[in-house]
Each structure stands twice: as C-alpha cells, then as structure tokens.
Structure 1
Amino acid sequence: MRRRSVALLVAAGVGMAGVAAVPAEAHDSKRVVGYYTNWSGYDRNFLVSDLVKNGSAARLTQINYAFGFVDAAGNCLSSDAWADYQRPFSAEQSVDGKADEPEQVLNGNLNQFKKLKKKYPKLRISISLGGWTGSKYFSDAALTPASRAAHVKSCVDMWLKGNLPGLPAGAAKGVFDGIDLDWEWPGSEGNPGNVIRPEDKQNFTALVHEYRTQLDRLSWPFKGRYNLTAFLPANPTMIDNGFEVRKLFKDLTFGTTQGYDYHGPWEQLTNQQSAIDGPKGDPTTPEFSSQVTIDSYLARGAPRSQLVMGVPFYSHGWTGVTDANHGLFQPSTGAAPGTFEPGTDDYRYLKAQLSNYTVYRDNKAGFAWIFDGTTFWTWDDPVEMKRKAQYISKRDLGGAMIWSLDGDTGNGELISTLHRNLH
C-alpha cells in the first residue's frame, strides 16, 4: 500500500507561569520531513525503532504518520487501531529497548513515537489525515462552517488530546505536535468514489483556517504551538482546481509538494517519475517535473521558505520494455513485478538486485533509471538525492519531504545524503 496519486496524470522556551511550551517547529536551515506509515511494520517489518537504527530519526525535523481517516460523518478515526495503539512491542523491537507491559494503557506505534520523542526532543510528529484511500469524505467534512468545526474538533480530540476509542481519556496526549492534511484531491478526482464538489477549493481554504483557529485555541497562550501542514499536488491543473495557494499558506506552517509519480506504470511508455526538469525527447505532454511544480506554487503566491519538496524512496517499474534508448520512453507490456505490488518497489529492495541492471542518468534533466534490456525502473539513489538536495538549497526552498521512510537501506544511505546536502 502506497500513496498512489495516479490521478495526477490521469485526470521553544518557557512560557507563562513557567509552563514549558512546545515550539512550533524545531529545524536548522532546512526541514527534513518523512512519512512513516502504519503498514510499515507488517510485511516490510520496518518499525519505529528502525528509524533510530538506520539514523533517520537523528536527521528528521518532522515525521508525518500516515494515515488517519475521515468517516462519512466527518469524524476522525484510526485506519488501523492495532498498528496505531494496540500492538505490543518486545524489548528488541522497542525504541528504548524496553518491552511493552501487559498492564500499560498505550501500545502500538503511538507509544513508540512517545519514546522516540524522548530520545530526540526536537523531533516533531504530526498525524497525517487522508491519503489516496482515506480522502473519500473530506469534501463532506469541509462543506459548511458547522461541518468544518465538528470535523476539526473530532480530529483534535482524538489525535492531539489523545482520546482514543477504548482507552482512558488522554491516553495518547503528547504524541502528536500537529496535523498534516492529505486530501487527495479538492476539486479533482483522486481514488474512485471520492466525493468531489466544485466548491472544494474555497472549502479547503476554510477548513485549513478552521484547523489553524482550533489549534491556536488549544495551544493558547502559545500561538503556533501546533504544526499545520498539507500535502499538495504536482499537477498545475489540480492546483488551480482545488487550492487557493496564497490564502492557504497564511495558515499553514508549511506545505509539502508532490515530487514523484510524474509518470508510472499506469502508462504504457516508460518515463521518469521524479525528474527535476523536463527531459529532452519526452514524447508526453504536458511536462511534469519538480521545477514545473515548484514554479507553479511560487507563481501562485507560496513563500519559498514554506515550500517543502517531495522526494521518493521508491521506484516505478515496467517490464516487456523495448530494448532501445536504454529503455527510456519505450513501450512496455505492463508493470514490473515488485516485492509488495506490481510496478512499485522500495529502494532498499531494488538496490539488492542492482547487479542485474545498468544505471543510466540524465544529468541535465536530473533523474536516473536502471534497465536490464527488458525491465525498467526509475532510480532515486544517493546521487539523485544529492542532486535534489542541491536543487532545494539553490532555490532556497523550505526543505525536503520523503515518501516514505521504510524505503531506505539499513544504514540510511538516502536520508543521510539528503540531509548532508541541504543548506
């Protein structure tokens, strides 16, 4: 299960009375934001503790935990209660090396996050709401002032006040420092069956403002204590259909832009999925690239310092590819077999097979791929992570966002390269 945005192309200190205030953000010159999914601990066996073991936690400024869902009534709910707060962890699996005890109230990833924050006190963690399969009812939740207020209250109560179903009140309080909105997409088709309205664009602005209002009220007198972020599409048409960019960024702490899925195996032709610029010879139109996306947001009023550019720790692949042009822009017979799903695989798994492939790079457009004469995979390795970090730094953007942290190697070679080259 991945965030699949196929529709992209198919359509600090001490406060008053000595009370410690949680800072709105804790970062150096650039943010490093990573998505950790609640399914990472299943087949992938990538636990929260692995963020410590591979060095990711020490390099991240924020984790977005994916995903919380929104139900038909507009209320927040867990998409996987077992993974989120019920699963017990052994000492070997745990962040602090201590096993969960039978009588403890909070288990699961949320308890591991609490331990992670003790180890890395500057790290911020947000609950990410929606995603590709969890955005169906966002339009209903955002429809009216009353529905927006009720929706936000539900999410604040559950995730920030920590009132989880079946547990004592406040059992998960203090786990999350903010909310990340991942509505895919306002005013545009996402996952089939999603509710879509023409007024989604204005309603999303109003929803974000309602979140900002309630978050500031919750953190009073420490205005800005809680982060409020949003995941934003790469497609300029989708931007215009659903996002009042200048208004949104007045309430957002920052926004993360989609820096991947520009092309994929839902198309017959092989192509790049995360190029910095449009490659020469690309037979498809319009152009999709990180430069197109970033320029689109800047032109619509997004501040550079609040734009965080997405980068992938996974690849898209095709098989049955014509052996010409090193496999690039060639017809295929379909999606390449992947470890967990056809057409997609994590960097760490593909790296283990790299001896079977030849690496090719387009240094001008800024992307790479691997090809064995039949099977083609997009390829974001340390060389490309360095290139992306340098682009982010050169354009003075707010940082990098990773989808997703479970794709990296056991020694964190992707995030270490990304972090080292952000200035």
Structure 2
Amino acid sequence: MRRSMLGRLAVAACSLTLLTAFAPAAGADGGGASGPGHSYKKVGYFTQWGVYGRDFQVQDLEASGSAGKLTHINYAFGNVSPQGTCFTGNVSGEADAWADYVRPLDAENSVDGVADTPEQPLAGNFNQLRELKAKHPGLKVLISLGGWSWSTHFSDAALTPASRKAFVESCIDLYIKGNLPQDGSRGGAGAAAGVFDGIDLDWEWPGSAGDTDTKFRPEDKRNFTELVKEFRTQLDGYAKSQRKRTRYELTAFVPTAPAKIDAGFDVRRIMRDLDFVTLQGYDFHVSGESKTAQQSALYARGDFSVDGTVDAWRLRGAPAHKLVMGMPFYGQGWTGVSGGGDGMGQPATGPAPATWSAGYEDYEALKKLADSGTYQVHRDRRGGHAWLFDGTTLWTYDDPQVLRAKTAYVREHGLGGAMFWSLDADTSDGELMTAVDRGLRGR
C-alpha cells in the first residue's frame, strides 16, 4: 500500500514495538449504561490514498448510506515537515495535493452530481467532503495528523514552546483557515475554509518507538501535553476571533499497551483539553508474528483486549464518555497454519496472500470468503472475536455479530462511541457501518 501503510499498523515490527506489556485484567466499569437517546460518536477514517487502487470516493459514503450514520470523518493523513510544520504538495510518499484538492471529479463521482470545473479553487477530496457536509449539516470533518508513517517529525515539532506555537499556527493556517498552496487554478487563500471542523492528533508514539524513522524522546510525554494545550488555546482563540458559535474539536488516537500510555500520555491533563480520544482497538496481534492470534478481541485473559484498553485509560483518569472505541473494518491473516483444530494460536509460515498487501484484507473481501463455503467461521463468544479458517489460512476480523457485542459494551460502560479504520474496507452497502449504527441505537 502507498507509503508502506497497511491501514495504520499491519506490520510485524509495529506489533513488537506497540505491544510491549500485558493489558490490565478485565474489570467492572462504573460508567453506567446509556439509553437509546445517547448521542454517540461514530468516527470513520477516510484514507487519502483510497481513491486510487480501491477507487473509493467520498461519494461512495453517500451511495452506501454510511454518510448519514457518521458523526465524524477523520481524513488520513496530514504530514509534519522536518521543519515542524503542517504542509502539503505533490511529494511522493510525503504529501498528495492532487488527491487532496487538485484532482477534478466528474459528475458521476461527485457528491452533488456536478462535475468539477477547471476554474474552481477547490477540487479533489476536500471539495467532496465540503459537498458531503452540505448534505449532512451535523457531520464534522477532522484532519488527522501523523499516522504510523507520518509521525516522523512530531517529536521535533513539539520540542519547545516556540516550535509548538509555530507548528500549531501552521496547521490552523493550512487546514482550518484553508490557506492552501497555489497549484494552477487550485488552492489559494481560504480555498479550503470550512472543510475541517477540527484536528485529530495521531502521533504514534510520544515517548516510545513507532515506525523505524520516527523520532522519540523521554520528554515527549510532557511535550505532548503542552502541544495538546497549545492546539486547544489556538483553536479556541481562532474560533473566538471568527465569532464561531461552536468550538473546533481536538481529538487524539491513543494506544493499547500500558507501557506506551505511561511513556507518552499524561492522561488526566490531556483529557482536559481533548474533546475525546479514539482507542486502539485492533492490531493486538498482526500477521508478521509466527503464530496466529486474535487482533481485536473484546475480552482476552492475559492478552491485549478492548476491555483491557478501556480499563487502562479509565484507571489513569480518563472519563468514560471521552473514550471512543476503535474497531477494525479489516482483518489480519496468516497462511501455512499447522497444528490442527480451529487454527487459532497455531504456528504459521507467514502472512496470508491478500488483495492489497500480504496479511491485511478488507472486510468486503473477507465477507466473500466467509460466504464461499471454503472457510469456516469460528467464534470465541466469551472473548468477543471471530476468525475464518480453511485448514491452512486464517483471518481474524470483526463482522456484524462481533460489532453488535462491542456496541453493547459501549452502551453498557458509558463510552463515547465508536471509531473505525477504515471506511473504504466496508461493503458497498455499508454493512459494518450499519451494524455499528444499529448497535449504538440499541437495535
């Protein structure tokens, strides 16, 4: 996949660095149940690069009915330059202005059914998101900064008060004020104004190892706290200057492993300034490992789990209503599985062949395998996870039944909602999005 990004993290090196300590044991939650009228967040990631190989356009969210079920779209990703600023352009592997705001779309692929013209200053994904918001006035779009591959320079950008101030100013100028670099007739001052309603910080990871070229320092924990505060201060200041009636939202994607949390996140302090955090609820195990294992179980004794992640954040002071549960719209897969039985926990020779990248497959493709009769669907009902196995190849994934259990957990524990990586992996009729929406409504 472009930029060596499998969704977020589907590589073995990520598993070895990300999951470095066992999650806390499952425990009771005092958050209390919420009724059907509770306003849950439903946050879906839209991938910049999905418009290419997958040919997944913003308009597909409207066609599938998913747009009307979402409360937030996180646009993945914005990059941070070596100078510590938000930037865009056409730089291979680093920025893609063509996809963001230059690429013209025809009427068939446009949300409003009208083809882009050569003269309009905003085209591409940004313009389509603007059109989608016009159809769904309550929908919010956030720019997600970083990700696994583009967190390289976060530590430098957050290092000093001056660097933090300059970093935040650049991000607000580019995405909130919408001052895009000129690219022919596209871009210019205010060209993308109103597209983004806030910023999602996806620094992977402050204070501990991430991708091979991502810098990290012991002082990242303090600096991340101050960076969050700087974003909150500047976003609020700009909203006030514009006499905006609602504030710009500020969120963050955060890890499962307690060691990662403690190394980089002053939980009580950052939660004061963040509207909510999206919890890593997947890639607990990945296809680069030598044995098959669950990647997104709701409960797991002595292993990582969604419940353990929630507990870890609650124990460190995060309020339940600001925790949004991450759910995968993809699976992790192994081949050459030996040892018999249902295939789970058995040795494997390597990642399973897949459509886009070995060991990583969209739910849309996994559903076809489940319906083919070649694979058997297995379930750990107590653990709340599922997998496919044909005797040789195993895929661990979430299907609508698993998502019903997870949304029931969200309601019962008073969490803030659900997040999904990523929207382009769902079926054309939005089967997983519908399952989440219905589950959060208690249906």
TM-score by shorter chain over 0.5: yes
* 2:193 paired with 1:177: no
1:239 alignment counterpart: 261
d(CA) in 1 for partners of 2:118, 2:435: 40
* 2:254 paired with 1:249: no
1:352 alignment counterpart: 368
- 1:399-410 → structure 2 map (5 Å cutoff): 399-410=417-428
2:379 alignment counterpart: 361
d(CA) in 2 for partners of 1:325, 1:207: 50
2:8 alignment counterpart: 3
1:64 paired residue among 46, 71, 74? 74
* 2:208 paired with 1:188: yes
d(CA) in 1 for partners of 2:247, 2:436: 27
d(CA) in 2 for partners of 1:150, 1:99: 37
* 2:300 paired with 1:278: yes
**8 A contact 2:20–2:257 mirrored in 1:** no
1:382 alignment counterpart: 400
**8 A contact 1:8–1:261 mirrored in 2:** no
Residues 45-77 of structure 1, C-alpha deviations (whole Å, 9 max, x = no match): 111000001111000000000000001111101
2:91 alignment counterpart: none
**8 A contact 1:323–1:374 mirrored in 2:** no
Give 1:346 deviation, angstroms.
0.2
1:282 alignment counterpart: none
**8 A contact 1:216–1:223 mirrored in 2:** no
- What letter is aligned with 1:31? K
Q: Using CA pairs below 8 Å that are at least 6 residues apart, which structure has the higher relative contact order?
A: 2
Give 1:124 deviation, angstroms.
0.3
Give 1:333 deviation, angstroms.
0.2
- 1:134-149 → structure 2 map (5 Å cutoff): 134-149=150-165
- What letter is aligned with 1:339? T
SS of the residue corresponding to residue 39 of structure 1 reads helix
d(CA) in 1 for partners of 2:65, 2:290: 38
User: What is the number of equivalent residue pairs in this alignment?
Assistant: 402
- What letter is aligned with 1:259? G
SS of the residue corresponding to residue 40 of structure 1 reads helix
- 1:332-347 → structure 2 map (5 Å cutoff): 332-347=348-363
Residues 196-224 of structure 1, C-alpha deviations (whole Å, 9 max, x = no match): 10000010000000000000000004475
- 1:43-62 → structure 2 map (5 Å cutoff): 43-62=53-72
* 2:221 paired with 1:216: no
SS of the residue corresponding to residue 353 of structure 1 reads helix
2:43 alignment counterpart: 33
- Relative distance call for 1:144 and 1:223 in structure 2 (3 A) is farther
d(CA) in 2 for partners of 1:344, 1:391: 26
1:129 alignment counterpart: 145
d(CA) in 2 for partners of 1:224, 1:299: 31
Q: What TM-score results when the alignment is normalised by the length of structure 2?
A: 0.89
- What letter is aligned with 1:371? F
Q: What TM-score results when the alignment is normalised by the length of structure 1?
A: 0.93
d(CA) in 2 for partners of 1:222, 1:50: 31
SS of the residue corresponding to residue 269 of structure 1 reads coil
Residues 224-274 of structure 1, C-alpha deviations (whole Å, 9 max, x = no match): 510000000011110000000110010001000000000011211101000
- Relative distance call for 1:224 and 1:186 in structure 2 (3 A) is farther
SS of the residue corresponding to residue 359 of structure 1 reads strand
d(CA) in 2 for partners of 1:107, 1:323: 53
d(CA) in 2 for partners of 1:130, 1:38: 13
d(CA) in 1 for partners of 2:200, 2:20: 25
Q: Which deviates the most, 27-36 or 184-193?
A: 27-36
**8 A contact 1:259–1:290 mirrored in 2:** yes
Give 1:193 deviation, angstroms.
1.4
SS of the residue corresponding to residue 420 of structure 2 reads strand
- What letter is aligned with 2:52? Y
Uncovered stretches (5+) of structure 1, i.e. residues with no partner: 12-26, 280-285
d(CA) in 1 for partners of 2:245, 2:269: 19
**8 A contact 1:124–1:177 mirrored in 2:** yes
Give 1:379 deviation, angstroms.
2.3
Moved over 4 A (4+): 221-224
Uncovered stretches (5+) of structure 2, i.e. residues with no partner: 22-36, 89-94
SS of the residue corresponding to residue 352 of structure 1 reads helix
- What letter is aligned with 1:399? G
d(CA) in 1 for partners of 2:245, 2:257: 33
d(CA) in 1 for partners of 2:152, 2:246: 29
Give 1:375 deviation, angstroms.
0.1
1:197 alignment counterpart: 217
Residues 169-220 of structure 1, C-alpha deviations (whole Å, 9 max, x = no match): 0001000000000000000100001111000001000000000000000000
Q: Which deviates the most, 322-331 or 134-143?
A: 322-331
- What letter is aligned with 2:435? T
d(CA) in 2 for partners of 1:325, 1:396: 37
SS of the residue corresponding to residue 63 of structure 1 reads strand
Give 1:362 deviation, angstroms.
0.3
1:288 paired residue among 301, 304, 308? 304
2:28 alignment counterpart: none
SS of the residue corresponding to residue 411 of structure 2 reads helix
**8 A contact 2:141–2:196 mirrored in 1:** yes
- What letter is aligned with 2:209? E
1:269 alignment counterpart: 291
Residues 308-337 of structure 1, C-alpha deviations (whole Å, 9 max, x = no match): 010000000000001523100000000001
1:303 alignment counterpart: 319
1:316 alignment counterpart: 332
d(CA) in 2 for partners of 1:324, 1:56: 39
d(CA) in 2 for partners of 1:278, 1:308: 19
